[in-house]
Amino acid sequence: MNEDLSYTETARLFEIFKCVHGYNYPNLEIIQKWERIYLEEGKESFYIERRGRSHNSTRNESSFTPKVEEDLIAKCQRLEMENEYLKKLSALVSARERNEKKSLK
């Protein structure tokens, strides 16, 4: 900004390129992002690590609200009960078919 350089000139100065179809082009998006960060947060913001997940989120934290989580647990329990019911029904039907085959012999 002090040197009054364009995005392209700044990208070339700092050797910020992207490869497209085998050719290197100045990566203007990076320069624009740097400018936005500088204007919104100041030069100190460049010392903040911005890659990956933020430090506030962890893998163990649920992204669901308590109500949604309760609904999902209830649905899971209903599906487990339905699954058990169908297994038992299938076993009863199989047993009945075996008994009918035995009685026909």
Segment 30-80, tens digit of pLDDT: 889 888 888 988 888 888 877 776 655 555 555 668 888 888 899 999 999
The token pair at 88 is: 């038992």
Q: What confidence score (pLDDT) does residue 46 get?
A: 80
First CA to last CA across the chain, in angstroms? 95
Measured distance CA(75)–CA(83) in Å, rounded: 12
Q: H or E stretch including 18? A: strand 17-20
Measured distance CA(44)–CA(36) in Å, rounded: 13
Structural domain boundaries in the chain: 7-47, 63-105
Measured distance CA(101)–CA(17) in Å, rounded: 76
Query: Residue 104 — very low, low, confident or very high, per pLDDT cuts 50/70/90?
Result: confident
Segment 23-32, tens digit of pLDDT: 888 888 888 9
Where are the strands (E) in 1-105, listed by range? Answer: 17-20, 23-26
* The amino acid at 33: K
The position carrying tokens 């039907």 is 93
